Every structure is written in C-alpha cells, then in structure tokens.
Amino acid sequence: MIRRVVAALAVLVLVAACESGPAIVSTGPDDTPAAAVAKGNSAMEVRNWGAAEAAFSRAVGLDDRYLDGYRGLARVALASGQATKGFAPAEKGRDLAGRDGKSRRLFQAVLIDLNAAEGRDGWYTRGGEIYWQELQNDPTAWTDGPIHLALGKSAAKAEDYPEATRLLRIAIRLNGPEKTEANRELARLDDAVRASLGDPALAAIARKPGLTRAELVKVLFDDFGILDYLGAKAPAEARPGETATDGTSDYARNPAAERIRALHRLRLRGVETLAGHFRPDAAATREEFAMLAEDLVVRKTGDSGLSRRYIGSESPFTDLTSTRASFNAMMSAISRGILLADIQGRAQPTEPLTGTAAILALRALRGLDPKALAN
C-alpha cells in the first residue's frame, strides 16, 4: 500500500504541475505534444521505458490536457512492470476525457489492465466494477472493443474462462484495432482451458483439432450439462429414426449409446440420428454445432424467431451461401461469438469442430442469461 502511494505521489507531482497551464515551453514547431507522444510510442516499441516515460511526460508538460500523453504514461507504467505508477495518469486522463465516451473508455480499459497487473486483493472485482459502471452510464460503450478486451484479459487471468471467452469474442466481433490482440488472447486462453480441465478425458478432447460426434456427446453431457441447461429429462419413449427398420444402429456398441438416444429424443439438430445412423466416429462439423447451439438458444429463450433472423439476408462469407440449410444457424453462432470466422473471414461450415472451440463455446453459452441470448 505504501509503495503504491509513493509511486502515485511521484506522478501526481507532474500532474499537479500541469494544473495551471503548460509546465514546459515549446522549443519550436517540431516540439509538440503529438511529436512527443510519437517519440514515446517509438521508445516503447524498443522497450526503452525511461525514454518513453520522458517523452510522454513532455507531452503533458506542453499541454496539460493532452489525453494521449496521460495514456502513454499509464501504458509505459503497465508495460514496464510498474503498474502502481500508472493509476494517477490514467485517472487524470479519464477525468479530462469527461463525456467523450470513446476517449474515456480507453482510460477505463487501461485502469482495468492496471488493476490486473498490480494484483492487489479484489483486483478482478474492481476491474468488473469499472467495466459494468461504464456500460451502465453509457449505452454506446457496448460498441467499444478496448473495454471488452481489457476485462476479457482480466477474466482469463482470474481463470474465469467462460466470461473471458465471451468478452474476447465480443472484442473480435466488433472488428476494431483490438481484434488482433483479442484473437491472440483467445488463442492463449485455449491453452489455459486445456490445461485446467479437471476430467482427463475432457482434457484429451480439448486438445483435439477435430471432435468426433461421439466426443461431442461426451462434452454436452459431462462438461456442459445439457439436461440441466434445458431443465429437461431425456424422454423415455423411443423416437422414429433411432434404429434402422431391422432394429439395428451404428452406435449400439458405443459407450455413449444411451446419451445418443437421449439427444435424438430431445429433437436437437446437429446431433440427430437418421435411420439408425448417428455416425459416432465421424467428425462433428462447425455447421452441425451451430445448428445445435441455435436449437439450445431457442429452447432457452422460447423465441423461435431466432431461427429465422437472418433468412433473406445476404451472406458476408464467401464459403457460406444464404441458401444453405445451416445459414441462419451459422450467422447466429458467429454473431454471438459462439463460433469465430477464420483469419481470412471465412465461416468454414464444413470444417471439423475443434475440442477447445466446443468446450469454450458451450461454457460461454451456459454463462449467458436468456435476455443476453435473445439479443
């Protein structure tokens, strides 16, 4: 605590010196706050923290209301492992930004990062409070990527994986400058999730580049808890299609046979059985998973209109036509961050579903309330 106070006072000396006007006189047309910030950014790229701090300090010395200078001071404190020093300039910049929501949220995002980096008791809770207060005060905050990215990283550090996945996918979906970092964070989160799964069998599934349909059944029951999610019991009565006309099936000897029958009786697309054929060893595809997820959302919300929301609209993906049976489900899954388009912007409907994607998506889905799902 004393260390944080001392560090904060050191920065506040600079901030206070700027309260009554510029603390430094420009030496010429090239000595501007913007030029100083550019120098600071260049110094940060080569990890010259001292030069970066000096440059950002000069920016706010030349103009005591120059937001990029304050943000630079907070960023260099964060990057150099001196998070405590970053709070004063971040809070000063936030207050100067005032009602300029986009600028204010850049500082709020840095404050969330600083709390996570400093790691004092309650850091994750404080970060969440900053995030939710900002969203409550300004509805347009939902469209800004930095704040979603910041809390997503904090959630990952706190091992709140479903929340981290949801937030990072929002940041990616907003398609702003944060998309690249959010994608990197999500990739790192994938590794963390693989390592953290308690069930060794699920951990093995998470490492797979492609799930079989039988493995997807295991995830649905053992990790997601599909019956609890739907508040339902598996119907006891057989449903047409469970077996071929002669009473045989291709899954009868599979360890997941009872669960396969239960899913078929729940009438969920993507995991149905046709004339005794479930294809337990076949790869589960992204579009099958999207249709399953769409049915789960419709059951959870009671809004059947969700299954028709994108019908009649044009496809933004070169590999997904608007006439494909899975089009609405794929659009719904990608728009909610349940599935991600690839780096080339393709939907990849027929590609295998990875183990990590299935586990993360279902955990994120489980963590959303019906109102959020219906949006």
Q: For residues 51 and 76, is the Cβ–Cβ distance under 8 A?
A: no
Q: For residues 154 and 127, is the Cβ–Cβ distance under 8 A?
A: yes
**pLDDT > 90 in the chain, percent:** 62
Residues in contact with 25: Cβ distance below 8 Å, sequence separation at least 6, in sequence order: none
pTM tops 0.85, yes or no: no
Of 256, 246, 197, the residue nearest 223 (C-alpha): 197
Determine the distance from the C-alpha atom of residue 257 to the mean position of all C-alpha atoms in its chain, rounded to a whole number: 34
Please tell me the distance from the alpha carbon of residue 155 to that of residue 121, in angstroms, as a whole number. 15
Q: Which domains does the chain have, with CATH numbers?
A: 2-148 (1.25.40.10), 204-374 (no CATH)
Range with lowest mean pLDDT among 130-134, 198-202, 292-296, 349-353: 198-202
Q: Quote the Cα angle for 134-113-338, to 5°.
A: 70
Please tell me the distance from the alpha carbon of residue 151 to that of residue 358, in angstroms, as a whole number. 22
Q: Quote the Cα angle for 259-264-269, to 5°.
A: 120
Q: 169 versus 372: which is more confidently predicted?
A: 169
Q: For residues 359 and 191, is the Cβ–Cβ distance under 8 A?
A: no
What was the pLDDT predicted at 95? Answer: 96
DSSP 236: S
What the block records as the tokens of 76 is 């260099």
User: Has residue 197 got a pLDDT over 90?
Assistant: no
The SS3 assignment for 200 reads helix
Please identify which residue in the block is written with the tokens 């099936």: 249
What the block records as the tokens of 333 is 């899954």
- List pLDDT tens digits, range 314-355: 999 989 999 999 999 999 999 888 888 876 788 999 999 988
What was the pLDDT predicted at 369? Answer: 62
How would you classify residue 228: left for phi > 0, otherwise alpha for psi between -120 and 50, otherwise beta?
Answer: alpha
User: Has residue 199 got a pLDDT over 80?
Assistant: no
Burial (CB < 10 A; 0-12, 13-18, 19+), residue 203, is: middle
User: Has residue 368 got a pLDDT over 70?
Assistant: no
Average pLDDT value over all residues in the chain: 87
- Give the pLDDT band (50/70/90) at residue 63: very high
User: Has residue 278 got a pLDDT over 90?
Assistant: yes
Average confidence (pLDDT) over 2-8: 47
Average confidence (pLDDT) over 150-155: 94
Please state at what angle helix 145-157 crosses helix 161-173, rounded to 10 degrees.
160
DSSP 308: G
User: Has residue 22 got a pLDDT over 80?
Assistant: no
Please tell me the distance from the alpha carbon of residue 70 to that of residue 61, in angstroms, as a whole number. 10
What the block records as the tokens of 67 is 């937001």
Q: 207 versus 237: which is more confidently predicted?
A: 237
**Residue/partner pairs of 245-250 with CB below 8 Å, 24 or more apart:** 245/275, 248/276, 249/273, 249/276, 249/277, 249/278, 250/276, 250/277, 250/278, 250/279, 250/280
333: amino acid identity, one letter? A
Please tell me the distance from the alpha carbon of residue 135 to that of residue 146, in angstroms, as a whole number. 13
Range with lowest mean pLDDT among 185-194, 272-281, 316-325, 352-361: 185-194
Compute and round to an integer the Cα radius of gyration of the chain: 25
